[in-house]
Structure 1
Amino acid sequence: MMGQATSYYEGSTSLKPLRGDCTRKHKEDPEHHCYYWKCAVALGVVLAIVSSAFVVTVSAVLLLMRPSDALVSHAVPSLAPPFASSPASLFVSYCPKKWVGYGGKCYYFSEEEKSWNASQHFCSSFNASLAGIDTLQEKDFIMRYAGLVEHWIGLRRESGQPWKWVNGTQLKQQLFEVRAEGDCAYLSDVFVSSSRCYSVRNWICSKPDAYMKAKKNVMEGE
């Protein structure tokens, strides 16, 4: 028994130097640790490059998808109602700041009140006139945009004479009826009425937009 125990102990003791030699061998082998360190550094560099490329690609795609601010600032989209059939309403209207584009025209809706004559003078200073109405679709658009506020439009008559627009053309009876007995017409939220020209109201100016104006100039040049 004692011999066997001694032999086992001696056998166990004889293995210790072997483990110590193996451990010492790995500790003294710098190439083994250097290999894994280089692999880790290389993997980190590759991941950094891939991440940077992904961020740059996503940023470029988002930049291309964003609309041009220059076009948005100068182009006022046409606010045509869904039932508008005018071909000109399919174009983008180019109008001055604070003017609204629709159907080839630019409209200015005032925030203050003036008499009919003073309102027309204001519009003339912008190469425009008090708004004329050519179609029922245009009338519906103006009434909807103006809301509940009454606005002067470019329609007037002399005593006992028919209604005429500021450009001298006569109002078509099938377009709408002017109510009341005044000499200057204004637009309410539901109908067109009239009153004394010296009374004060908001007003609406209109003029051809840049597209229609350029088209007209080309046609006149021909």
Structure 2
Amino acid sequence: FKGLLDLQHLNVQFCQNLNELPGEPPPNLEELFADYHLALKSIKDLLINCLKLYKIGISNSGTVSSEQVNVFLQHFLRTCIQCDFRQRDYFVIFFPDQDRILELFNNDRFINQEKMSIDLYPSWHTDKFMGFWICYSPAGQYTGLEATLVCKSDPERKYSLKYNSIHRYSRFKDPFICCVYIPFETLWNGEGNKEGKNPNDYYMLEVSDLYRKWEELYNWGIKPGYSIKHAS
């Protein structure tokens, strides 16, 4: 990638015999579109060396199983622990086949819903908590999430924390699932007043797609991310 230091978008989908990215990735890279195995092999170097990278799109070449999706997400989280992720507000990964949510989430899934809301465990926030994986199946090529933490005993929502800066084009025409990782710091520093509150004063997370048309229903799934196996 010599001479491509300012490269922001890289598409290497369907490149036969390309097993790894040549040399160090461009430091200003923001988006990568690649086949599954190449993206999985490169994710650690990309997250560590490309601090502006916020999006990876997995091509629909071949079949990507639910197990492979889980492996990718877990590998991503393990890498986040090792690198300075705080320079990113969020990270989004697109996988082909929007029906995969039914297989990825056994309990924490919501079928044909306008939006998603979940009750958080009483002590959900610990020093091991990293953030939330939110997966959903947009109906169109435009998608932007709005995530809100709702405080206990706050009917007027004076202390709700809202983050809604995820406004990007998906660039996918075929059905896909969108997996968005939102670090805890992003939500905690979101729009709103948290004076005198601590994270465990918040009991609910609400998520919606700002580009959803009123008649569209989505499949949703959510997973909390911890740096070690966490017993709820």
State the TM-score, normalizing by the size of structure 1: 0.25
Q: Which is higher, the Rg of structure 1 or of structure 2?
A: 1
State the TM-score, normalizing by the size of structure 2: 0.24
Query: Is the helix fraction higher in 1 or 2?
Result: 1
Query: Is the strand fraction higher in 1 or 2?
Result: 2
